[in-house]
Structure 1
Amino acid sequence: MSNIQIVTDSTAYLTKEEIKNYNIKVVSLMVNFQGKEDDEGLPGEFEKFFNALKESQDFPTTSQPPTGAFAAVFQEAIDQGKEVIAITISSKLSGTYNSAIIGAEMIDAEKISVVDSQTSVASLKHMVIQAQKLANEGKTRQEILHYLEEQKRKMGIYLTVDTLEYLKRGGRLSTAQAVVGSLLNIKPIIQLEDGILQTVGKARGKKKALDMLIANIPQEVKYVYIPHILNEEGAKELQAVIKERHPQAKVELEVLGPVIGAHLGPKAMGACYLW
């Protein structure tokens, strides 16, 4: 058993099986929706939320995990004689990184490393699982931290949406922009770069939007993950095209949960790639 405990947050969207098999600790972000605050949850638990989102005029708000939640997980690992590496969602998307930093200072900062992944969703998940595999191989904390810093420079995420409604409701588009964009069937291309989500392009129609996603995947890619929201059929179609163009790459489907997905809405999907 490794003497390093890997910790992450819920936006990595690890499944229950992955959490158990890799012995990764997950600290959940919080979602406030329709007057109730709860943990974000895990893959397999998101469909009810997104179906309710479609029917509701309420828009969810999210918050980072309480500092005490990180501190409790860190303390448990330290009590077991382990060092800790916590890998979080981009600090420019959430206060989760800062919450983990404060939690580490409360326990034993010398034995705990907190890493700003500068990413989220499937790319974060990949980094977390690879870090745990390295820990299981007996790599030191410094060796794993070096891997994580190197991987940050070799990844990208592009996303697109089925409807502009949720970008409007989340404040990322004005009502006028959403109305005009919908009339013209505009699909924005959203990139996560340097830890920031930003619109980097627009396409007319779903097919052209997906073509733009695919065009951004580098030839030397090793892993491609296709995160989606209630759109497995569309994600599988995209998976088939990417496999044909990049036969050397491992291409898998993933899901998006409420914290990230609420701003994109049902049927959204994208491509997370690493090389």
Structure 2
Amino acid sequence: MANVQSLDPSASPLDYYGWELRRQREAHGLRQGQLGEIIFCTGSLIGQIETTKKVPTRDFSERLDAALGTDGVFSRLVGLVLRSQLPTWFQPYAEMEARATYISTYQAQLVYGLLQTEEYARALLSVDHPGRTDEFVAARLERQRILHSDHPPALWVVLSEAALLQEVGGHEVMRGQLGRLLDCLDKPWVQIQVLPFSTGQHTGLMGSFTLLRFDDDPDLFYVESYDQGHMTANPQVIKERSVGYARLQATALCPEASAELIARVMEERYGCQP
């Protein structure tokens, strides 16, 4: 890891963040411990972020801006930092997802990333990334900010019943995650349909996929494997997958019946009455 003498602010968003934090702190005549006391963290954490050993969170960045009077500099920069923590192959999709006006996704096994709770995401990401779980979780939560923006995308999720039954992180985590899905009933721009096992064979058996629509750009189809993602704007692929998605929507339970199934699984399988 870099030290304060060798940190190159042009190397990455994280390096720039650390370099700018040190510059602002010293400009205010503060030691690491003093700044830590002001924003309610340790001086050690300040030092680790300055030298890129730790990735800053949004909450940390907002407290920095308030303490140093930096007019939102760190709050704006942290978005770039967190996106840079996503796997390189996933970053192009995350950028397009953030620009989409309409997102349609079919999820065969897991809850879609934009709807995952922090605990659910942590349990998932800790399996393959035990040394970088905090960074990956923070990056995933950062992606979800688009749903809370002034102009959120319309999000339509068709979720296999398998995603409700696949236990991730234990009963408590699953109760929280299914509760999050039920909370979406209050969000008019989010629609969730569950595709029950009783459907039998269907057009989504090949696996999860996502369609992105934009105001001024061609539609995109996205699918991923274990260690890479694939995006295409090929009109024939978009047509075929759009028809396939419409068939999934027509076959799945309606949103109201889907909510009833989610609530029933939440109570009967995970021991909680929603």
TM-score bin (small chain): under 0.3
Q: What is the TM-score with the length of structure 1 in the denominator?
A: 0.25
| Structure with a larger share of its residues in helix | 2
Report 1 or 2 for greater relative contact order, CA contacts < 8 Å, sequence distance ≥ 6: 1
Highest Rg: 1 or 2?
Answer: 2
TM (normalized to structure 2)?
A: 0.25
